[in-house]
Structure 1
Amino acid sequence: MTEEQKKVLIATQKRFALDAKESMIKVFNNGNIGYHFLEGDGALIDLVKEIPEYHGLVVRSDLVTDELLEVASNLEAIVRAGSDPENINITKAREKGIYVSNTPGRNANGVAEESIWVMGAIARNLFSAYESMKNGEFLPDDFIGHELEGKRIGLLAFGHIPKLLSKKLSGLGAKVFAYDPFVTDKKVGEEYGATLVDNIQDIFEKSFIVSIHVPNLPDTNKIVNYELLSLMSNNGILLNTARPNSINYDDLKQTLLEKDGFRYASDVNKVIFIKDNEMGKFHDRIFLFPKLGAQTFESNIRTATSAADHLDDYFNKGILNDCVNVPLPEEMKEYALLTMSLGKFNKAFIDNPIKIEIVCYGDLNTHKDDFKQYVLKGLYEENLGKKITPSQALEFATDNNVNIITREPDPTKIYPHSIEIIYHSSDSSSHKIRGRIDEGELQVTRVGEFKQNIPIFPYDTIIVQYTEKAGMFDRIGNQFTKYGYNKVYGGFGPNEDRDKAMTFIQVEPNGRVKGVEDIIKDEINPMKEVYRAVNINMK
């Protein structure tokens, strides 16, 4: 092994299958990457000792601690061989300049198939019938069950796993409904045989079976509570193949007490609640499994191979797929803020783009794949009404079939350290915006056909476009001062043909008597010269 060779440590308490390991070894050998497997119960104990000499790390559900990250002096990338990298301190890794990625969707088919088998087995009372047979009984008439065909089945979340599950269930004739605040395009649901609903209550109130697939996020902690469980029928089935903290277990106990036909199944790791004496009385209606969803030879091979491929691509091509923390260099952080602001700014002109093109000029082009996630973060955070991570924004765009393209800059155009974003809508219209940082100030430098420097300050920014006419800037500004706003900054300018003009005004309230949106609707839009007026809240 030469000194220049990159080395990867595969540290997993839960061992990969032999075929999966052989697949990883093949990838590493082809990429001239050194490797070492640290497996079994001693893996985590030895990990801190072993890690300093390695450049890459592959884990499964193993905890990557702050202590480990501190001593990992050569570590460049961590791959979680699985979907949710909750076992890794992503923020700490970012501070250390370490990329973190995962392998979403590679075990989705295994979990989807397991979900169907469990649903069918519980609906047909197969587990109870099996226990009866073990006791020497033969009582087929006591275990009449239900078929899945024609039944309404609700899916909480609509990512990789529930999409595949929906496709399989609809093939069995089930009526599948799904709720996911990150997936709003109804056509995405139809593609996989599901009807997307607008509120979470519809999933629980009208479904025979509810299957939980939410990620581990603050917003999903105890999301399944008494209010929702009380909406389910007496013989309803709740299935959780996701994370344990999505269930309020006290509320689950209460539901089992009140509904004598209600059943719960789970393959999550956390089974502490079953030790509670109160849960013992429900032993015939609670079905627990070790975490088996991804424990198939096929999922094992797909996940392991994908993890190895990620590191091969990173070390040999400089690309890390499925990156979840986008650790930008310190000097690029302000440009990440600029990119988010441009994404939010352009949303005012095309609210739900179906295609987004991103062009980075100068040295920024090196980080174009990182910046695209921040464009999406700026675009979608206001829609969702909450903060999201760049990787969540990318997942939201992917789930809604938004095509994201990073283009190479035109060598004939010179826009030093600028970022250009073009949104394309479903009606074939498009809108371009460009921005830069000039002496530390974030600026928009182009809005559609207008070239104009607009500082990005935390105020309401009103953009008004109109047919060219003298005095429009003052006329527009006066409407806001009249209703109790101070003009903090503003400007105007024509397009290249000089037949249209654009005014921008940034305002803050000063005893306001009317909202900005109402002023635009009632005072600005009725001006016969105005053909577009929007407000961008840059706070």
Structure 2
Amino acid sequence: MKVFVADDISSLGLDRLKQYQEIEIEKRTGLKEDELIAAVSDAEALLVRSQTKVTRKVIQACGQLKVIGRAGVGVDNIDVDAATEHGIVVINAPDGNTISAAEHTFAMLISLSRHIPQARQTMQEGKWDRKTFVGVELSGKTLAVVGMGRIGTEVAKRAKAFGMRLVAYDPFLTEDRAKTLGVTLKSLEDAVAEADFVTVHTPLTKDTKHIIDEKMFGKMKTGVRIVNCARGGIIDEVALCEALTSGKVAGAAFDVFEEEPVTADHPLLQFPQVITTPHLGASTVEAQVNVAVSVAEEVGHVLVGKPFKNAVNIPSLSEEQKQYLQPHLNLGERLGKFVGQLASGAMSEVEMVFCGELDDSDLPFVSRSVLKGLLGYRYGDEVNFINAPTLAKQAGMTIRQVRESQHKVFTHLLSLSVRVNGELHKVAGTLYNGLGPRIVEIEGYPIDASTEGKMIFTKHHDRPGMIGHLGSMLGKEQINIAAMQVGRKETGGEAVMLLTVDKLVPESVVHELSQLPGIHEVQTIVL
């Protein structure tokens, strides 16, 4: 079996594949798309880092491909949907660079507090300047950690060792879990308002893009210091430059940027109190070895039929099982994604009710798909089909599965209920022949909607003209409505509406919609 390696991957990782006599390794890097297709046409496995783009065209042309391995966390360079359609397992290495990223964050914190890069630069210039670089101690200072996933948790551990006081914002973190980690859970506004240092560790989503913006900088102490070693775009760079200019922010340390690579005229590079590195969070010998070893071991297990744990898309199923279960897995993941965006917050209880044709042995697979979708907005690329139940347990969530033989209306129905910050949210879906997965209930209201696309969800008072007001406002913003579904229980009461639109709806438009008379709630959802 041929394994083709398209990027530079640690030889220590590839050595794990060489233990299998039936596996042959071929390595060539820097290939263009057509060259990659030719090289992988007879391969059973493809190994990449972030440089090689594994497109739908590549996947469709490689009929023997069984597994694609990504030596790292993110799989943005792989068309996962195309791989899934062709029954190809996509493997990543979600744990390999956690410590590396956490340590780099802390290196930035220390460098920021003591002006280490700036002081070194003046010494290169022949100066001996001690007065300019008087720093601050970390001990006794308050660190706000925005996002308490794996890396945020590791940063918090190190901050405690330095005697820092820890506050955290994570809408998915329960109070019990926060106590276990030794952090005080706060709203985002309160966390940044108390902080001497702020570090962000969230995935980049529509909810976290520019989560630290002009408004948040306005709530911070004068002299606060900011660190971003997570994803470019979590912090509004324009607003940060303004805060640096005004003196509100005393310094910043950035490893990631909204546009990469960064050019010499980038505004942040013009501030002497800003420390920058070129996306080095995972750039340690250990991290590169860890991700290479992890993904190579997993790819080897897939090829020789052993169990594997880091599948991004599908589990270890037979071809017959995949064909039968794939529509159910898709429905489960999409319902999870829907609720995850509908009600962002600390999820404490999850109940899945399965009605209809699935066997008891099928339920764990669909349950994992639901959790993968549900946790996707918290963990981003770190969550996969295999580790989703573990991450849910670590987050303090109680998972309950209920099996019912039949439903009075639908042949098959999956109902998902999630308790978020004490409130119960519910969505249900089914499979229609020829139409694929459909949403048939939202928050107790009957509806019939697709599970794909960019959407606007509203709760509103059911009265004449409501749909027209929404449509007019969206039309004014050049946002076309592709589909619309309304659900209600009684005339003149509360109703829900799900609009599928052709492009993402800006937050400013969402705010305007929420101000319309009779509108009680507006959410954007992307499936």
- TM-score range for the pair, normalised by the shorter chain length: 0.5 to 0.7
CA distance in 1 between partners of 2:180 and 2:116 (Å): 32
Contact 2:2 2:25 in 1 (8 A): yes
Q: What's the offset of the Cα at 1:358?
A: 10
Equivalences for residues 27-42 of structure 1 within 5 A: 27-30=17-20, 32-39=22-29, 41-42=30-31
Q: CA deviation at 1:278?
A: 4.8
Provide closer, same or farther for how the CA distance between residues 364 and 30 of structure 1 changes in structure 2, counting only shifts above 3 A: farther
1:301 corresponds in structure 2 to 289
Matched residue type, 2:281:
G
Which protein is bigger by CA-based radius of gyration?
A: 1
1:351-390 matches, within 5 Å, as: 352-353=348-349, 365=361, 370-376=365-371
Asked if 1:238 is matched to 2:233, the reply is: no
Deviation of 1:261 after TM superposition, in Å, equals 5.3
Q: Aligned letter for 1:110?
A: S
CA separation of 1:376/1:222 partners in 2, compared to 1, >3 Å: closer, same or farther? same
1:49 counterpart residue number: 38
2:103 to 106, 113, 136: 113
Q: Report how far residue 60 of structure 1 moved.
A: 1.5
Query: For 1:251-400, what aligned pairs fall within 5 Å after superposition?
Result: 251-259=239-247, 262-268=250-256, 270-271=259-260, 274-276=263-265, 278-279=267-268, 281-282=270-271, 284-317=272-305, 319-326=307-314, 329-336=322-329, 352-353=348-349, 365=361, 370-376=365-371, 394=389, 397-400=392-395
Shift of 1:279: 4.6
Aligned partners of 1:29, 1:358: CA distance in 2, in Å? 43
The equivalent residue for 1:185 is: 174
In structure 2, do the counterparts of structure 1 residues 79 and 337 end up closer, same or farther at CA, with 3 Å as the change threshold? closer
| Corresponding residue number in structure 1 for 2:49 | 60
Return the alpha-carbon distance in structure 2 between the equivalents of residues 107 and 153 of structure 1. 22
Aligned to 2:371, what secondary structure does the other structure show? helix
Alpha-carbon offset, residue 302 of structure 1: 1.4
Task: Give the 5 Å matches for 1:400-419.
Answer: 400-402=395-397
* Structure with more relative contact order (C-alpha pairs < 8 Å, separation 6 or more): 2
Structure 2 distance, partners of 1:508, 1:390, is 35
Supply the distance in 2 between the matched residues of 1:360 and 1:206 (Cα, whole angstroms): 52
Contact 1:149 1:173 (C-alpha < 8 Å) held by counterparts: yes
Distance 1:145 1:66 in 2: 52
Give the direction of change, closer, same or farther, for the CA distance of 1:443–1:218 in structure 2 (3 Å limit).
closer
Q: CA deviation at 1:196?
A: 2.7
Contact in 1 for aligned 2:144/2:168 (Cα 8 Å): yes
In structure 2, distance between residues paired with 1:359 and 1:511:
30
Q: How many angstroms does 1:263 deviate by?
A: 1.8
Determine the C-alpha separation between the residues in 1 that align with 2:127 and 2:334.
Answer: 68
Kept in 2: contact 1:116–1:165 (CA 8 A)? yes
Distance in 2 of aligned mates of 1:150 and 1:296: 30
* CA apart distance, 1:309: 1.6
Deviations 1:59-100 (A, max 9, x none): 221232233223222222222211222222222322232222
Closer/same/farther in 2, CA of residues 166 and 461 from structure 1, 3 Å limit: closer
1:280 and 1:290 map into 2 onto residues whose CA distance is 12
Letter in 2 for 1:104: P
Pairwise CA RMSD of aligned residues? 4.3
Alignment of 1:432-451 (within 5 A): 432-435=402-405, 441-443=411-413
Distance 2:182 2:21 in 1: 40
TM-score (norm 1): 0.66
Whole-angstrom distance in 2 between the partners of 1:66 and 1:359: 35
Distance 1:196 1:320 in 2: 35
Indicate how the Cα distance of structure 1 residues 98 and 458 shifts in structure 2: closer, same or farther if over 3 A, else same: same
Cα contact 1:152–1:208 (8 A) shared by 2: yes
| 1:136 corresponds to | 126
- What SS does structure 2 have at the residue aligned with 1:117? helix
Structure 1 residue 8 corresponds to structure 2 residue 3: yes
Amino acid at match of 1:194: V
Structure 1 residue matching 2:290: 3-state secondary structure: helix
**Runs of 5+ unmatched residues, structure 2:** 316-320, 340-346, 416-427, 431-438, 445-486, 497-527
**Secondary structure in 2 matching 1:141:** coil
* Distance in 2 separating the partners of 1:359 and 1:514: 28
For 1:203 and 1:396, how far apart are their aligned partners in 2?
A: 24
In structure 2, relative to structure 1, the CA distance for the partners of 1:46 and 1:363 (3 Å cut) is farther
CA distance in 1, matches of 2:298, 2:398: 22
The answer on whether the counterparts of 1:225 and 1:247 sit within 8 Å (CA) in structure 2 is: yes
Query: Is the 8 Å Cα contact of residues 156 and 212 (structure 1) preserved in structure 2?
Result: yes
Shift in Å, 1:394: 4.9
Amino acid at match of 2:210: K
Choose from 161, 164, 169 the match for 1:171.
Answer: 161
State the TM-score, normalized to the length of structure 2.
0.67
Q: Structure 2: which amino acid aligns with 1:115?
A: T
Aligned to 2:440: 458
Aligned residue number for residue 84 of structure 1: 74
Structure 1 unmatched ranges of 5 or more: 1-5, 346-350, 405-421, 424-431, 446-453, 463-506, 517-539
Q: Secondary structure at the match of 1:276?
A: coil
Letter in 2 for 1:206: E
Shift of 1:359: 13
Give me the whole-angstrom Cα distance separating, in 1, the residues matched to 2:280 and 2:266: 26
Secondary structure of the corresponding residue to residue 142 of structure 1:
coil
Residue 64 of structure 1 aligns to a residue whose secondary structure is coil
Quick check: 2:203–2:231 contact (8 Å CA) kept in 1?
A: yes
Q: For residues 209 and 437 of structure 1, what CA distance do their matches in structure 2 show?
A: 54
Counterpart in 2 of 1:499? none
| 1:153 partner SS | strand
Q: State the partner residue of 1:150.
A: 140
- Aligned equivalents of 1:55 and 1:215: distance in 2? 31
Aligned to 2:185: 196
Q: How far 1:124 sits from its partner (Å)?
A: 0.9
C-alpha displacement of 1:170: 0.8
Q: Distance in 1 between matches of 2:335 and 2:276?
A: 48
**Residue-by-residue CA offset, 1:93-137 (whole Å, 9 max, x unaligned):** 222322223211211111111111111111011122111211222
For 2:189 and 2:127, locate their aligned partners in 1 and report how far apart those are by CA, in whole Å. 41
Q: 1:509 aligns with which of 463, 471, 489?
A: 489
Q: Deviations over 1:195-227 (max 9, x none)?
A: 232x22233222122222222333333333222
Provide the rounded CA distance (Å) in 1 between the counterparts of 2:373 and 2:115.
Answer: 49
Task: Give the Cα–Cα distance (whole angstroms) in 2 for the partners of residues 514 and 437 of structure 1.
Answer: 26
Secondary structure of the structure 1 residue equivalent to 2:6: strand
